[in-house]
Amino acid sequence: MNPPPLPTPVHALSTMWSQGRFRGDGKQADDMLAFAETAARLGFPAIEINYVIPPEGVEALLSNDHVGIVSLHSPTPRIRMDDGKSSDALNLASTDEEERGLAVERARVTVDHASRCGARYMIVHLGGIDGAMFDEERELRKRYDAGERDGAEIDLLRRGAVERRGEAAKTHLPLAKRSLAEIAEYAVTRNVAVGLENRYHYHEFPGPGEMRELLEEYPPEVAGFWLDVGHAEVLDRLGLELHDRWLNELGDRCVGAHVHDVEGLADHRAPSHGTADWPHYAQKLPPAVPRVFEINQKVDEQQVAAAIPFLRERGILPPAS
């Protein structure tokens, strides 16, 4: 039996929620068919395959008849590289050409899987400045959690982060742009569109202005902006990027969204269990693009299912027919 046609806009559940929830009899990997069946039971007609799923799990999902597949989050599937690094740790903006090339290669594998199952979108993290989170951002997060949100020292940290990023982006952003070109060139021949996601950390690409510049070279059917609500909210709370810039400036290029709530700086909460600016997203999110519920594995089934009517009430999803 094949699943029924997908509604517009489709609401889908990310496999992020599956991690560790579907392991029986001491197995090391989740039973992804059980996840697909559960997603359908909870009210989701479709899923997104995210980058933590191993090859056997991806294959199971590609053959499932419980739910459709609207998108794959690159790099899917997760594998261990020859150097021991996980495939999702590869940086598409790396100055190490071997690493950057491997990252592009894994993104192309994602495109192949999307093409096989007829998924329209593959979502890309375009990489960032080599190294870990900026020290300034780490300190801002620590102070936010301690209740310190404003003041001269906070302003100094924010300015330091902006200056550091601006200087390093001169080297790394052209590499990210090159990677996007290589991925998009491959994806367009397979009828898969690239969704560039806004990121959780400030050293990662792209920012709103960079997003517009990167997408100018591509029509919407080739590449577009994939909004992550939680990431937008977190960087706003840190004072590094206003959350409403993304859709105010890029709504015309938005091709999909990850919807999840944010409590403080902790994202991937079920919608209704945080303080995201849902009225803004209801007003600005294009009406027909997919809404992927990217909820973490610690959230119980009741909260996941209840998120659907909550977002219908908020206007993120249309009323139930």
Residue 164 lies in a domain: no
Return per-residue pLDDT of the chain as tens, 321 residues: 456 678 889 999 999 999 999 997 777 899 999 999 999 999 999 999 999 999 999 999 999 999 999 999 999 999 998 888 899 999 999 999 999 999 999 999 999 999 999 999 999 999 999 878 999 999 999 999 999 999 999 999 999 999 999 999 999 999 999 999 999 999 999 999 999 999 999 999 999 999 999 999 999 999 999 999 999 999 999 999 999 999 999 999 999 999 999 999 999 999 999 999 999 999 999 999 999 999 999 999 999 999 999 999 999 999 987
Residue 318 lies in a domain: no
The closest of 215, 184, 192 to 71, measured between CA atoms, is: 192
- The CATH number of whichever domain residue 182 belongs to comes to 3.20.20.150
Name residues whose C-beta falls within 8 Å of residue 240's C-beta, 6 or more positions apart in sequence: 137, 140, 158, 161, 162, 202
Please give the residue range of the domain that contains residue 242. 11-132+174-313
Which pLDDT score is estimated for 1?
47
pTM (whole model) above 0.85:
yes
Residue 116 lies in a domain: yes
Residue 139: which H helix or E strand, with range? helix 135-145
Name residues whose C-beta falls within 8 Å of residue 152's C-beta, 6 or more positions apart in sequence: none
Residue 6 lies in a domain: no
Residue 306 lies in a domain: yes
Residue 151 lies in a domain: no
Residue 158 lies in a domain: no
Residue 3 lies in a domain: no
Number of domains in the chain: 1
| Backbone φ/ψ region at 84: left (φ over 0), alpha (ψ -120 to 50), beta | left
